Structure 1
Amino acid sequence: MVSLAFDGLTGGIQDRIRNSHRVQAYHMMYSMNIWSCLWASIGVIATGEIYGLFNFITLYPHVLGQMFLLGLTGAIGQNFIFLTIEWFGPLTCSIFTTTRKFFTILCSVIIFGNPITNQQIFGTALVFCGLFLEQFFGRANHR
């Protein structure tokens, strides 16, 4: 519930920034990444996890290449996310990402045979019902 609340809050803020300042995707992406790096760095240093990172890299130096590839693919993915926000708005981006998550769950259940409970099925149905209603009634209000 907290994640959904913050997702909605972030979408609203992004929509307001997008409409009032006409900010471009890469400016928004840069600013978000700067703030994320700042807060993550404070957290890693404050908790002492920085030492665990150095120890891990010392023991397994081959992971540096994999960490680089993870960062590169993450940056490529962020391009699509922020361009979608710039061109279509945060709601459409949220619908794309939620739909992607649904198909990830579906593939996990069908391909890998991971079990899904009735409560999880109900929750997934509620999310997509909400998305459908937002698209149906939200678009009607904008016309």
Structure 2
Amino acid sequence: MEAHGAGDSAEFSIGIFAWPGILQETLSTKRFGSDGKRFEHLAFLNLAQNVVCLVWSYIMIKLWSSSSGGGAPWWTFWSAGITNTILVQPWVLAKSSKMIPVMLMGTLVYGIRYTFPEYMCTFLVAGGVSAFALMKTSSKTISKLAHPNAPLGYGLCFLNLAFDGFTNATQDSITARYPKTSAWDIMLGMNLWGTIYNMIYMFGWPHGSGFEAVQFCKQHPEAAWDILLYCLCGAVGQNFIFLTISRFGSLANTTITTTRKFVSIVVSSLLSGNPLSPKQWGCVLMVFSGLSYQIYLKWKKLQRLQKKKKT
């Protein structure tokens, strides 16, 4: 990839992460075959991606992981697999604050300790992104959350954040207990349980639509190829996610993903000719102040570790 230059590398990266969204949109809107039918079983995509990523992680473990073992057993991921599978569809504003529940769940459930500066950095980033998202979100969109049942709408948002926080905190706890756990061990464990739970939901649950989805793919092979390509792109994306979690922790991964979405919104606004208001620039300043301070803290920690090694 290096031989193609920075422009080609960036184009390749954008393509990889954009394709799943493009393919999902295609699968939900495209009409397949001469009968012009749409693929209406989008929940089946979760199961398909779990199966493909499970196979992918197993192959990667066999190819790249050390033979000495010592990684986390597959059964340790059962609880994180549950919460990850039943996560409700997130609201953008609520999702932008997910770093906070990740820290809270880690502290409350697993006793993970964070310093005050780490909490401050998180609140700066999460607060800035949330405020910016609130300014960018129309009142019509916000009203959808409270209609027709406001307590249910906000309750589902809270449930999503709680499950997300528990999932990430559990992954951190597992990697702390089993230091030799690789990114593909986590990927395998999460997708194994995701496959089990989604199989029950799609084929064992009353009125499950799994058989209908399989039948549709048999009748429309083009849809099956689109699903496979969607799953392969997802597998590539999961590699980056779990490599970050295994090396730097869930909080770092959450910060990266949240910041990436935030930067995308800001750049998109500027390129589309929509100038940011002073309040929105204040949110941008909050986010990058938090990120800069976080980088400084990590640099100071690295300096202390190097001094200890020298002494």
TM-score normalised by length of structure 1:
0.72
Matched, 1:88 2:248: yes
2:182 — aligned with what? 24
1:104 Cα deviation after fit: 4.2
CA RMSD of aligned residues (A): 2.9
Partner Cα distance (2:209, 2:267) in 1: 34
Instruction: Give the % identical residues.
Output: 35
Secondary structure (helix, strand or coil) at the match of 2:221 reads: coil
1:95-128 alpha-carbon deviations (Å, 9 max, x no partner): 1111222234446656679xxxxxxx8xxx6xx7
Distance of aligned partners of 1:52 and 1:6 in 2 relative to their CA distance in 1, 3 Å threshold? same
Partner Cα distance (2:189, 2:218) in 1: 31
Task: State the one-letter code of the partner of 1:78.
Answer: Q
Distance of aligned partners of 1:65 and 1:95 in 2 relative to their CA distance in 1, 3 Å threshold? same
Range with greater deviation from structure 2 (12-21 or 27-36): 12-21
Alignment of 1:12-91 (within 5 A): 12-22=169-179, 23-45=181-203, 46=205, 47-91=207-251
1:117 — aligned with what? none
1:69-110 alpha-carbon deviations (Å, 9 max, x no partner): 111111111000000011111110011111222234446656
Distance of aligned partners of 1:42 and 1:93 in 2 relative to their CA distance in 1, 3 Å threshold? same
1:68 Cα deviation after fit: 1.1
Structure 2, gaps ≥5 residues long: 1-157, 274-279, 302-311
Secondary structure (helix, strand or coil) at the match of 2:226 reads: helix
Would you identify which runs of 4 or more consecutive aligned residues in structure 1 move more than 6 Å? none
1:56 Cα deviation after fit: 2.5
TM-score normalised by length of structure 2:
0.36
1:48 Cα deviation after fit: 2.0
Distance of aligned partners of 1:65 and 1:13 in 2 relative to their CA distance in 1, 3 Å threshold? same
**Larger C-alpha radius of gyration, 1 or 2?**
2
Structure 1, gaps ≥5 residues long: 114-120
Partner Cα distance (2:160, 2:262) in 1: 16
Task: State the one-letter code of the partner of 1:132.
Answer: G
Partner Cα distance (1:112, 1:56) in 2: 39
Distance of aligned partners of 1:112 and 1:31 in 2 relative to their CA distance in 1, 3 Å threshold? farther
Secondary structure (helix, strand or coil) at the match of 1:62 reads: helix
1:58 Cα deviation after fit: 3.9
1:10 — aligned with what? 167
Q: How many aligned positions are there?
A: 126
1:116 — aligned with what? none
